[in-house]
Structure 1
Amino acid sequence: MFRSIPFVFLFLVVNTTIYSQQIYKRTLKLMGSRFDITVVAKDKIEADQFIDQGVSEITRIEKLISSWDKDSQTSNINNNAGIKPVKVNIELFDLIQRAIRISELTDGAFDISYASMDNIWKFDGSMKEMPSQDKITSSIKKVGYKNIVLDRENATVFLAKKDMKIGFGAIGKGYAADKAKELLINLGVEAGIINASGDMNTWGKQPDNTDWKVAITNPLNKENAFALLPVVNSAVVTSGSYEKYVILNHKRYSHIIDPRTGYPSKGIVSVSVFAPKAELADALATSIFVMGIEVGLNRINQLAGVESIIVDDKGDVHTSNNIKIDK
């Protein structure tokens, strides 16, 4: 369920005209990925102070949700799978609870327990044949969000199966973008963008009072953008499979794996989701790869304030009901 986001596909269009306030941007590596933090401020000193606060918040989130940090609460949950419940910070508890709700919404296409899967699929060019059905079946035997047991009264999380694991690779950067945005708004930053490797969250307007806009291009035909859309106090996330895939038996398989079956998704090369929060958009973008175009758009069309643009492996563009573009 991990994603790679080439920046050529989705980028913000920024008007850099100088007004009483200016746009300041810093690019850095956080959570193992590229982050671009943009704020509107009166001068560079003020902007740097704000951006430093945003970086601190993202770093805090990483320490909370990282499964690579052996001392994190997430690692503690995983280390006690099948053994005992683990008491956690209420913030992490709530994030896991929301993740389970998205699993229910997507019929398990999104599942943070995907981390339990064996790495039997290789997308580095070394894989020449399909894994056996036995290996695939074995790979997913510990996966299943219904085995994540929550106890709100005691703020505990219990993974019911031994060696079961959870991971936030398909939702963590979106959540970090949301929390950094929330913090900066509370600090008085009137406008800005948090771009977490393609998980973008915006608020306010540019100094000339125009909306932030995002240009989207077809990854199979990058010559021209087919859409230039405003992003108004909301998030847009793009998930792409066009750089990381394998071709077996003349079929193209994405690196995004269906946690229910153990097989890679196919037929879609990119998904963009517009939603009120990056956390939700992040999870849904991954889920649509797994659900497929028809089911994915049907699900999106049932959600208020959520829209999507899908590009299939033939280069054709599909949109949810409220997005109209010249295809």
Structure 2
Amino acid sequence: MFIVLFFLTSCSSDDNGVMETPYKQTEFLMGTVVTVKIYNEEKETVLKKVFERMEVLASQIGLEEDAGVSQIDEVNAQAGIEPVIVSEEIFQLIKAGKDYSQKAEGSFDITIGPLTSLWHIGYDDARKPDQEEIDAVLPLIDYRKVILDEEKHTVYLKEKDMRIDLGAIAKGFIADQVNKVLEENDVTTAIIDLGGNIYVEGTNPSGKEWTVGIQDPFSTRGETVGKIEASNQSIVTSGVYERYLEVDGERYHHLLDPKAGYPFDNEIAGVTIVSKKSIDGDALSTLIFSKGLEDGMAFIEKQDGVEAIFVDKDNKIFLTSGLEDEFELTNESFIIGDSSLKNEGSE
């Protein structure tokens, strides 16, 4: 996921106990830099609770390499053998992932693990698999073979060698859990940044909405194409130019098509999802790549409380209807595309 840059206006503290300079903690977790800022006075101790919660969830999901066998590892190890009991949180995470897989009709699939393990893009041992290897794992990818027992909290993968991979939604889920911790501790003004999965809580110290910069998918982190105002919202950006493998002059990005076995190949360079829940933004930012620009625009227009910013490979920006008057272009290298595109995709 791309980092999203904040433009924060300097201001003084107010009568509601909101400070100009926040309590802040930054750690390297889940393979990325994680930062949480709390602007409420006398809430510094909440940071410890937040990071403890993140560490527990990251370990259960398997996002920390040195944390031992995770619950997801155990589910994968017992594929085709027996159901595995998991925690309430992990059960709900897997259930949400299966629901999104169904919405995408399999073009987004949480059982993509055998394929992502083959390519392993983003790691030192990344490689382009042989076609025979790809053909061998594609039949293992089928979210419908994830059997969930709500009463017993068990997860069962019906076929041996199936593997769940929650990388497309895990950070969004954890961001929502962090937000719960903040709410339980009466924190009203905060920023959660899980390596680019952003959640802005409340308003900034001046009482205005936060100003959030939208990442340029073709440039280094911190370079933006525009900005929006946001409050109590998640902003998640995914794109094809940050994590990739280059073989014989051809670039393969990390967003893999579970049906074809190769990275999605369409006109989208990056997409930003604005939503109330971060898990929705995380899942949708990946799911949209499976649909392409026109169908992706039409899909988001049908989702309640969700908006999107698309950047195509020709430096055109397309906005869903709820952002047409909210997005401000700040980069002269880009232009706003034809808004009628969303209507074409829905025909």
**How far apart are the structure 2 equivalents of 1:115 and 1:74?**
11
> 1:300 — aligned with what?
300
Aligned pairs for 1:123-162 within 5 A: 131-162=129-160
> 2:171 — aligned with what?
173
Tell me if the contact between 1:118 and 1:140 (Cα under 8 Å) persists in the aligned partners: no
Deviation at residue 167 of structure 1 after TM alignment: 2.2
**How far apart are the structure 1 equivalents of 2:183 and 2:316?**
38
Alignment-mate amino acid for residue 73 of structure 1: Q
Matched residue of 1:322: which SS? helix
Answering whether residue 12 of structure 2 is matched by residue 14 of structure 1, we say no
Q: What percent identity do the matched residue pairs reach?
A: 29
**How far apart are the structure 2 equivalents of 1:118 and 1:17?**
46
> 1:64 — aligned with what?
60
Residues 241-250 or 26-35, more deviating: 241-250
**How far apart are the structure 2 equivalents of 1:55 and 1:72?**
18
Change (3 A) 1:187 1:268: same
Tell me if the contact between 2:38 and 2:44 (Cα under 8 Å) persists in the aligned partners: no
Aligned pairs for 1:56-205 within 5 A: 56-66=52-62, 68=65, 69-117=67-115, 119-121=117-119, 131-205=129-203
**How far apart are the structure 2 equivalents of 1:70 and 1:123?**
22
Tell me if the contact between 1:218 and 1:315 (Cα under 8 Å) persists in the aligned partners: no
Deviation at residue 145 of structure 1 after TM alignment: 0.6
Q: TM-score, normalised by structure 1?
A: 0.88
Deviation at residue 243 of structure 1 after TM alignment: 2.8
**How far apart are the structure 2 equivalents of 1:313 and 1:289?**
13
**How far apart are the structure 1 equivalents of 2:71 and 2:179?**
23
> 2:341 — aligned with what?
none
Tell me if the contact between 2:116 and 2:256 (Cα under 8 Å) persists in the aligned partners: no
CA-based RMSD: 2.6
Tell me if the contact between 2:237 and 2:285 (Cα under 8 Å) persists in the aligned partners: yes
Deviation at residue 135 of structure 1 after TM alignment: 2.7
Deviation at residue 170 of structure 1 after TM alignment: 1.0
Matched residue of 2:199: which SS? strand
> 2:314 — aligned with what?
314
Matched residue of 1:61: which SS? helix
Q: Higher RCO, 1 or 2 (CA under 8 Å, sep at least 6)?
A: 1
Q: 2:46 aligns with which of 46, 50, 59?
A: 50
Tell me if the contact between 2:200 and 2:230 (Cα under 8 Å) persists in the aligned partners: yes
Change (3 A) 1:122 1:234: closer
**How far apart are the structure 1 equivalents of 2:210 and 2:122?**
36
**How far apart are the structure 1 equivalents of 2:93 and 2:243?**
28
Deviation at residue 70 of structure 1 after TM alignment: 4.1
Alignment-mate amino acid for residue 289 of structure 2: F
**How far apart are the structure 2 equivalents of 1:298 and 1:248?**
34
5+ long unaligned stretches in structure 2: 330-335, 337-347
> 2:272 — aligned with what?
272
Alignment-mate amino acid for residue 115 of structure 1: G
State the aligned residue count.
Answer: 318
Tell me if the contact between 2:112 and 2:163 (Cα under 8 Å) persists in the aligned partners: yes
**How far apart are the structure 1 equivalents of 2:245 and 2:316?**
21
Tell me if the contact between 2:115 and 2:134 (Cα under 8 Å) persists in the aligned partners: no
Alignment-mate amino acid for residue 205 of structure 1: T
Residues 173-182 or 251-260, more deviating: 251-260
Change (3 A) 1:39 1:124: closer
5+ long unaligned stretches in structure 1: none
**How far apart are the structure 1 equivalents of 2:82 and 2:255?**
31
> 1:37 — aligned with what?
36
**How far apart are the structure 2 equivalents of 1:126 and 1:33?**
16
Alignment-mate amino acid for residue 213 of structure 1: T
Change (3 A) 1:70 1:124: closer
Answering whether residue 237 of structure 2 is matched by residue 241 of structure 1, we say no
Tell me if the contact between 1:297 and 1:320 (Cα under 8 Å) persists in the aligned partners: yes
Q: TM-score, normalised by structure 2?
A: 0.83
Tell me if the contact between 1:117 and 1:142 (Cα under 8 Å) persists in the aligned partners: no
Alignment-mate amino acid for residue 184 of structure 1: L
Matched residue of 1:141: which SS? helix
Deviation at residue 125 of structure 1 after TM alignment: 12
Change (3 A) 1:206 1:247: same
